[in-house]
């Protein structure tokens, strides 16, 4: 089985990277993490790549005079390794429109909210302040605007009484760790199409329960 060659771009902790590496360890998973890039030398997540024997490189944005030059260096590294899909996983640099266009529909991101709600930073605090009863995460194709683009996978998690930012973030993060491998698998299986800026997934029509919060037994 030819596995889809995936690069993961990180800036920090790298728990989503670790989830992707773990998923790829299964013999029947149709993708492999072939390269990890970080824009920060001190990104803790680099250790996950090293432990798994995955090539990693630091391309520090500070070493480049312009965003375009930084993006170009990323692009060169990705192409040199024959990367077919790029996963942003806590990569905290906005990529320029040229880069995003060049990798259109081969570049995905995970964000810790049910987009289009709460893009940007401080997601969980804003969700709590808004009083939403469900939070969640989104894996989407990247477009030039931040946290925008056709949605591949979403996971909903309840906001529970007594939640603070840390508790809600931990619940959402656990859902991220299931959502990102699912999105990568569906893409690697060739089941994901973008039509009219919406995602269609072959064979994904199934019944799902409606979840109420609070439950109607309350």
Which residues belong to the active site?
111
Residue 45 makes contact with ligand GAR by CB under 6 A: yes
Q: Check if the beta carbon of residue 202 is closer than 8 Å to that of residue 191.
A: yes
Nearest distance from residue 46's CB to ligand GAR, in Å?
A: 11
Structure tokens at 42: 């001190």
Residue whose beta carbon is closest to ligand GAR:
90
Q: Which of 4, 6, 7, 16 binds ligand GAR (CB under 6 A)?
A: 16
Residue 173 makes contact with ligand GAR by CB under 6 A: yes
For residues 175 to 214, the per-residue mask of contacts with ligand GAR, x marking binding by CB under 6 A and - elsewhere, is: -x--------------------------------------
In the bound state with ligand GAR, the residue whose beta carbon lies nearer, of 45 and 149, is 45
Structure tokens at 208: 């799902």
Q: What CA–CA distance (Å, rounded) separates 139 from 112?
A: 9
Among 14-22, 33-41, 154-162, 182-190, the segment contacting ligand GAR (CB under 6 A): 14-22
Residue 144 makes contact with ligand GAR by CB under 6 A: no
Residue 165 burial by Cβ neighbours in a 10 Å radius (0-12, 13-18, 19+): middle
Distance of CA 188 to the CA centre of its chain: 15
User: What is the DSSP secondary-structure string of 116-146?
Assistant: TSS-SS-HHHHHHHHT-SEEEEEEEE--SST
Please give the residue ranges that form the binding site for ligand GAR (CB under 6 A): 10, 12-16, 45, 89-90, 110-112, 147, 173, 176
């Amino acid at each position: 089985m030819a596995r889809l060659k995936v690069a993961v771009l990180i800036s920090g902790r790298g728990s989503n990277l670790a989830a992707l590496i773990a998923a790829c360890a299964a013999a029947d998973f149709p993708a492999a993490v072939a390269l990890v890039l970080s824009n920060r030398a001190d990104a803790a997540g680099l250790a996950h790549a090293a432990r798994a024997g995955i090539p990693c490189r630091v391309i520090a944005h500070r070493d480049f005079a312009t965003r375009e030059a930084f993006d170009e260096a990323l692009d060169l590294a990705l192409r040199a390794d024959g990367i077919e899909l790029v996963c942003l996983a806590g990569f905290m640099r906005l990529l320029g429109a040229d880069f995003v266009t060049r990798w259109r529909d081969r570049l995905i991101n995970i964000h810790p909210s049910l987009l289009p709600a709460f893009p940007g930073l401080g997601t969980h605090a804003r969700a709590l302040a808004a009083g939403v009863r469900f939070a969640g995460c989104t894996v989407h194709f990247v477009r030039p605007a931040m946290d925008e683009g056709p949605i591949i996978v979403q996971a909903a998690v309840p906001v529970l009484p007594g939640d603070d930012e840390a508790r809600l973030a931990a619940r959402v993060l656990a859902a991220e760790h299931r959502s990102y491998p699912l999105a990568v698998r569906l893409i690697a299986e060739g089941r994901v199409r973008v039509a009219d800026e919406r995602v269609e997934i072959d064979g994904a029509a199934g019944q799902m329960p409606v979840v109420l919060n609070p439950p109607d037994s309350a």
